[in-house]
Structure 1
Amino acid sequence: MTTTAPISNALTARRTIPALLAWLTCLCLALPLRAEPIDELAESLQIDAMIEVMRVEGMAYGAELAEEMIPGGSNSAWQELLDQIYDAEKMRTIVRQGFAEVIEDSDPAPLIAFFSSDLGQKIITLELEARRAMIDDAVEEAARQAYLDIKGSEDPRLDQLRRFVDVNDLLETNVTGALNASFRFYSGLVDGGGLQLAEGDILADVWSQEEETREDTREWLFAYLLLAYEPLEDEELEAYIALSETTQGKALNRALFAGFNAMYDEISYALGLAASRQMQQQDL
């Protein structure tokens, strides 16, 4: 149910997942929606805390983007634009709309029961802590190396995580989200006048990134999961996997991707548009 919904751009594949990433089960509901049970679920998922982590990630990514694309790097005008793009309330609104369209016919009771339990709260806290920690490049690199050290092995925890990823379709859905976000970023650059490319050329460039994006996504995803769930007992992780396999769990996963992919599509386009305009202003 963890959703690492990545933000992709043509320049920094290394940041593909964290910037738009994933956003995990605890990021799941940028609600409240309408009904009180959904409000209760949103509160148990610590949504405000996760949105803030996402915003910090995005602001850091925006600073890196400026170094790559804007002459002179980041400046006060760019920082103001980032504040507007990564506005937490706007982010919640977009997620709420996308999520509601998918989850509204699902029964939230089993989800509330799980995420309000001691185990559910433990999982959410671990996800938040790991997500926050991996904003630090050194922590991210160490987590990636920990995964690479056991990649391809029959490590029992790695096997559990493979099943978790498969049940929730985390890899392919995140790759699709990342490529879509990359397309939106290019579109923003073109619409802002900073890049001249036909839509077909944009699509070709985005698809040329597919395999690299998939490998980077896989590496970040397993690195994150290993870090986040390391304190969990095997049976605790099995309970989480079991929830993901239920009708409600699958509906939640679909809703999360719908909401967060919509949010990152909007953010990616806005970043492309803002970068394009800053590039042109610097040229004047």
Structure 2
Amino acid sequence: MRLVALLSAFLIWGMPLSANEKVDRLARAMDLSQVMQILASESQDQRRDLDETILDNAGGAFFQAQVEDIYDPVWMREQMTDAIEQGLTDTQLDQAILFFESDLGQTIVSLENSARQAISDEAIEEMARETYEATTRDSELFVLVDEYIQANDLIEQNVQGALSADFSFFKGLDQDTLTDDGELLAELLSQKDSMTAETTIWLYSFLLLAYRPLDEVQMRENIAFSRTDTGRALNEALFDGFDRMFDSISYRLGATVAQVLRGSDL
């Protein structure tokens, strides 16, 4: 009976994983559930900003509940896993799992998530920015972080994603009007330089904070993975997933703000 049980276990665990199972395994290795929880927590700061700047603090419990519904961590994770499944081949999924389940991969995930949670505190974000400003550009860590940012095209990708999300927000906000898309896009593009500057400062501040515990060998391995076909495919899939996710979130958020404004006018 023990032999039968062992054989049964071997057959179960020895069978190749389906694409869906591999995607879920990679998502667990990357701890995407925690990433989405962090983003959902950050949404409350955005809610407060919108309530103060646009709604004149009239949002109340309704607006808070709507934002919590829009930033649904389970739905957000599904958007990311769908993008990964669409963007990576079966072999690339295997290679990505191998990297992120490794000791280094798990260390990177833990460091990034811890830094993202920490930098949501204004005092820590200010400290991280001051550290970035004070860090000499030829120091080992700065050079390696810079190389990582360039390898993954993080600045331009983040700026393009932010512009797209802003466009979606204003479309949701003005859905009942005849606002010209071209005019709206031109207005947003006029802010691209300032957005790029702010994104650059935030990215370097965040990654210098997150990757400070890594040594040169670990950083080199992280950069090397980013430059593989698998690393590039995963990076593209993640940005595609984030872009689609935040476009949808931003449109719904804009529409919700418009709904509150209409209710305030009654």
- 1:35 partner SS: helix
1:17 match: none
2:125 match: 140
Could you tell me the percent identity over the aligned residues?
35
1:155 aligned to which of 121, 127, 139: 139
Q: Deviations over 1:115-171 (max 9, x none)?
A: 1111111111101100011111111111112112226x2122111111101111111
CA 1:52–1:244: 2 relative to 1, 3 Å? same
1:8 match: none
Q: Deviations over 1:203-257 (max 9, x none)?
A: 1111111001100100000000000001111111111001001111111101100
- 1:232 partner SS: coil
1:172 aligned to which of 153, 156, 176: 156
Q: Deviations over 1:170-212 (max 9, x none)?
A: 111111111111111111111055xx63212211111111001
Q: TM-score, normalised by structure 2?
A: 0.89
Q: Deviations over 1:17-60 (max 9, x none)?
A: xxxxxxxxxxxxxxxx9433332222211121111111101122
Instruction: Check if 1:248 corresponds to 2:226.
Output: no
Indicate if the aligned counterparts of 2:115 and 2:210 stay in contact, CA closer than 8 A.
Answer: yes
1:191 match: 175
Cα displacement (A) at 1:61: 1.3
Indicate if the aligned counterparts of 2:24 and 2:81 stay in contact, CA closer than 8 A.
Answer: no
CA 1:102–1:273: 2 relative to 1, 3 Å? same
2:199 aligned to which of 190, 201, 217: 217
Instruction: Check if 1:234 corresponds to 2:208.
Output: no
Cα displacement (A) at 1:107: 2.0
- 1:70 partner SS: coil
1:129 match: 114
1:66 aligned to which of 51, 59, 65: 51
Cα displacement (A) at 1:270: 0.9
Q: Distance in 2 between matches of 1:192 and 1:238?
A: 51
CA 1:65–1:95: 2 relative to 1, 3 Å? same
- What residue ranges of structure 1 are gaps of 5+ in the alignment? 1-32
Q: Distance in 2 between matches of 1:277 and 1:192?
A: 11
Q: TM-score, normalised by structure 1?
A: 0.83
Please tell me whether Structure 1 or Structure 2 has the larger radius of gyration of its CA atoms.
2
Q: Distance in 1 between matches of 2:173 and 2:90?
A: 38
- What residue ranges of structure 2 are gaps of 5+ in the alignment? 1-17
Q: Distance in 2 between matches of 1:228 and 1:192?
A: 43
2:33 match: 48
Aligned length: 249
What is the RMSD computed on CA atoms of the aligned residues? Answer: 1.6
Instruction: Check if 1:112 corresponds to 2:97.
Output: yes
Cα displacement (A) at 1:73: 4.3
2:22 match: 37
Instruction: Check if 1:262 corresponds to 2:262.
Output: no
2:166 match: 182
- 2:27 partner SS: helix
Indicate if the aligned counterparts of 1:59 and 1:86 stay in contact, CA closer than 8 A.
Answer: no
